[in-house]
Amino acid sequence: MSPSQIAGEHAPANEREINDFCKFDLVRDGAGRFRIHSSVYTDQQIFDRELKHVFGHSWIFVSHEDMIPLPGDYVTTNIGTQPVIVCRAADNRVHVLFNRCAHRGSVVCREERGHAEKFRCPYHGWVYGNDGQLIGVAQRSGYPDDFLAWDLKLEEVPRAESYRGLVFANLDPSAAPLLERISSVRRYIDLWCDRSPTGKVALPEGIHRYEFPGNWKLQAENGVDGYHGNYVHESFVDLLERSGEREADDTRKTRNTLGSHNFAKGLSHGDGVLERKDGMIGAFPYRSNSSYCTQLETSYGSERANDILMQRNIFIFPNLFLFESHIRVIHPVRPDKSYIDAYPTYLMGVDDQLNAERLSEHERFFGPSGFGAPDDIEVFVCAQTGASAIGNPWLEFSRGIHRESMNELGETIGHSTDETPQRSLYREWLRLMQVNGNSPKVAR
């Protein structure tokens, strides 16, 4: 299978097919309202099309360079549902290889992370170097002499590029360069990396992986949803009050106040940012650590340090979040099943104590027994269940559409409880879904 087939390219669709799909009614955007058809969470054809049109043509986060610092280091992950190995070869180059044996298709690497000079397929023992080349075949005499000229190898994903340690890959060989793609979100990636006074983050811990019985976009929407916190995370707000850390009323009012620094931003390419000066629920209180703040000011100056210290959830379409202290990747499995990889991060160049406290705060809210992430999962299940109900299929994403504006950077700015980032996400989603192909047939 060629990379272009893997990426879901077809012969160019004829004009009629494209027009049919463009007319297909999944996103209603106009006249002061923005609505999504519930089938985007439930329909198998739409899901299959997402894998081809969204995940098959987008830059997808596959690893962080800090996870594979040495030649031989590797991690495994998925691009959409495509299994890949991300490994550093002897020449120090990072390769992103399809985790698919050239013999009969088994994955050749079953580990999540490790170090190996070669990968041995578990099925019949073919061996590949960490540059993907086939270097050994069991019982070789069963093949003709010219066998090694058959160009059998672990195929390379067509494109792989990195930015500030974040490694992305793209199944589309003709995709625009990564830097072009991240043009508007890049300044937020920089601010996130510059939480470290050295500008570098480390990922020394494992991955926290968990699945949920819901569509991947429920998590994509939720990570920049500033509306739900007072309700879904009500018990955590109350807990903060009981422990004397914060007045619950203050938390709720801060989050709802117009005019203070509470923004939800829609960027180009489907990206989005939730930004609050006074912190998210469950975020580490950086501003109260004076020696850390001084470190930042020394490295970057006080104006940029102040910007760095804003609390942000950064969404990079279609499935990557840079949160306070972790990287989160959403993996689609089925229309109603997804899994999350959360990679806790450490800041380089700060006290060990600060990193320990960040990790502890992260675990308290996002960890397996945390007070935040499990509640989010619960509402994803609620939303997935409700999406299958008959009746009016249209879901409202119109919050704040009447009060958003555009800033000098071309970002659409709403209040932090507005659905501005979600509208940005779905506009890009629809754009990609409408390129080349037949319309999905959805039960109405």
Q: Given the structure tokens 């070869």, which residue do they identify?
A: 89
Nearer to ligand FES, 52 or 100 (CB): 100
Select the span of 75-83, 130-138, 234-242, 372-380 touching Fe ion (CB under 5 A).
Answer: 372-380
User: With respect to ligand FES, which residue has the nearer C-beta, 139 or 243?
Assistant: 139
Q: Under 8 Å CB-to-CB from 342, ≥6 apart: which residues?
A: 207, 208, 209, 210, 326, 327, 328, 329, 366, 373
> Total residues at the site for Fe ion (CB under 5 A)?
1
Q: Considering the complex, what minimum distance in angstroms separates the CB of residue 17 from Fe ion?
A: 39
Q: Using CA atoms, how far apart are residues 422 and 287, in angstroms rounded to an integer?
A: 29
**Which strand ranges, in their side-by-side order, compose the sheet holding 94-98?**
94-98, 82-88, 73-79, 113-115
Q: Which does 33 bind (CB under 5 to 8 A by kind): Fe ion, ligand FES, none?
A: none
Cα–Cα distance for residue pair 351/428, rounded to 1 Å: 40
By a kind-dependent CB cut-off of 5 to 8 A, residue 376 interacts, out of ligand FES, Fe ion, none, with Fe ion
Q: Alpha-carbon distance 80 to 210, whole Å?
A: 16
How many beta carbons lie within 10 A of that of residue 410, not counting itself?
10
Contact letters (x/-) for ligand FES, 45-84, by CB under 6 A? ----------------------------------------
Pick from 73, 341, 376, 404: which binds Fe ion (CB under 5 A)? 376
In whole angstroms, give the CA distance from residue 370 to residue 377. 12
Binder of residue 106, out of ligand FES, Fe ion, none (CB less than 5 to 8 A by kind): ligand FES
Residue 324 found at the interface with Fe ion (CB under 5 A): no
Sheet (strand 262-266) strand order = 208-212, 337-344, 326-334, 320-322, 311-316, 272-276, 262-266, 412-415, 405-406
List the structure tokens of 44. 């198998």
User: Which of Fe ion, ligand FES, none sits in contact with 101, Cβ below 5 to 8 A by type?
Assistant: ligand FES
Q: Which of residues 77-136 bind ligand FES (CB under 6 A)?
A: 101, 103-106, 121, 123-126
Q: How far is the CB of 185 from ligand FES (least distance, A)?
A: 39
Contacted entry of ligand FES, Fe ion, none for residue 103, CB cut-off 5 to 8 Å set by kind: ligand FES
> Min. distance of Cβ 222 from Fe ion in angstroms?
6
Q: Which of 62, 428, 424, 58 is nearest to 273 (CA)?
A: 424
Stretch 137-176: interaction string toward ligand FES, x if CB under 6 A: ----------------------------------------
The Cα 118–Cα 122 span in angstroms is: 13
Cβ-contact 52, 97 below 8 angstroms:
no
Instruction: Identify which of residues 105 and 368 has a Cβ nearer to ligand FES in the complex.
Output: 105
In this structure, what token pair is assigned to residue 233?
């995370």
Binding site for ligand FES (CB under 6 A): 101, 103-106, 121, 123-126
Chain residues in the site for Fe ion (CB under 5 A): 376
